[in-house]
Amino acid sequence: MRAYTFVRPGNAAWTEKPMPDILSPRDAVVRVTMSSVCTSDLHILAGAVPRAAKGVTLGHEFVGVVEETGEGVTHVKAGDRVAVNVETFCGECFFCRRGYVNNCVSPEGGWALGCRIDGAQSEYVRVPFADTGLTKIPDNVTDKQALLAGDVLATGYWAADIADIEPGAEALVIGGGPVGICCALCARLNGAARVFVCEKEMCRREFIARNYPELGVVAPEEAIGVVRGFAHGGADAVIEAAGTAEAFELAYTCARPNATVVVAAMYEQPLVLPLPDMYGKNLVFKTGGVDGHYVARELADIAAGRIDVSPLVTHEFPFSRLEEAYTFFASRADGVMKVGILM
């Protein structure tokens, strides 16, 4: 089968690989029906993910149909439509038992798919720990609606939860891309009364205003002035989803004293924490990564109409044009948010 493979930093190529086999009783093989390209895939190609294995099939955002399961799999069966968690996790180690599934110590736990083991940009994928890594898609939820549940939307649920957003809170999300929008929508789901998304690109601000009018939008140069008008002179919670030094500085500047700042972005360069500027603000910083245990909750919310991220899939490509989709997504052509890859 054809697979789009990470060769080395700066280079990916089509290769022929055999059909995946069941290697463990807890494995499943999934036939991909729709996938996407993630900014994390671009980070791998840029050489910014040292643990990424050369020769691995890229891609970790996808939905599909279970083709085969190991004898130890009980929660899904052949023929089930499933959303796939970007984080595969054993459910048994020290970290999994405490809910920190992205820190699973299994060799195939954490962010493995499309990074350390073959991922979604092929026809079939072996998914370890299928009972925790796969979630059945409700009948009234389309592939497109479920596509982002395992990664981008899961990041939003995770970030909003650890931001400790209380009912009536006023929050700021920095970065109006797919991750930032998901974080903002989830902050609203968690009860925030007002959520503003700070985004420098006009086309993205217009996209948010058009598709998600319940969210406020603001340009970076206006953000400080906006949060000064909040009840406590700053945001109760700030989620940084842009991944730049300027965005990080804006995040802690816009937070009110004793607020929580969540770093949801992936950075390619180290940042300096300017402690003298923060002295007395008593900020709580939280970092981490996408948490794969939210997917069932997400799909229930999607099925009930409480959240809809399908507008983020702004463009679709057939699998045969995957390379074109990568270039299109990386260049942010035509106002693209996410691309859907159809098999």
Task: Supply the pLDDT for residue 309.
Answer: 97
- Across 11-17, average pLDDT: 96
> pLDDT of 68-79, one tens digit each?
999 999 999 999
Instruction: Give the pLDDT confidence of 79-92 residue by residue, as tens digits.
Output: 999 999 999 999 99
In order of their start, the domains of the chain are 2-151+291-342 (3.90.180.10), 154-287 (3.40.50.720)
Provide the mean pLDDT of the chain.
Answer: 95
Segments of 37-175 assigned E as strands:
62-69, 81-84, 87-88, 110-111, 124-127, 134-136, 170-174
Give the pair of three-digit tokens for residue 57: 């099939």
Is pLDDT above 80 for 214?
Answer: yes
Mean pLDDT on 41-54: 93
Instruction: Give the confidence band of 57 by pLDDT, cuts at 50, 70, 90.
Output: very high
Q: Give percent of the chain above pLDDT 90.
A: 89
CA atoms within 13 A on the CB side of 103: 10
Q: What is the DSSP letter of 19?
A: P
Q: For the sheet containing 284-287, what is the strand order?
A: 216-218, 194-198, 170-174, 235-240, 255-263, 284-287
Q: Which of 46-50, 116-120, 122-126, 193-197 has the lowest mean pLDDT?
A: 46-50
pLDDT, tens digit, 9 for 90 and up, residues 264-278: 998 878 888 888 877
Residue for token digits 């989803």?
241
For the stretch 156-197, pLDDT in tens is: 999 999 999 999 999 999 999 999 999 999 999 999 999 999
Nearest one of 20, 53, 55 to 125, comparing CA atoms: 20
Q: How are beta strands 28-36 and 338-342 bridged, if at all? A: antiparallel
Say how far apart CA 161 and CA 148 lie, in whole Å: 18
Confidence of residue 67 (pLDDT cuts 50, 70, 90): very high
Over range 48-62, report the average pLDDT: 95
Confidence (pLDDT) at 158: 94
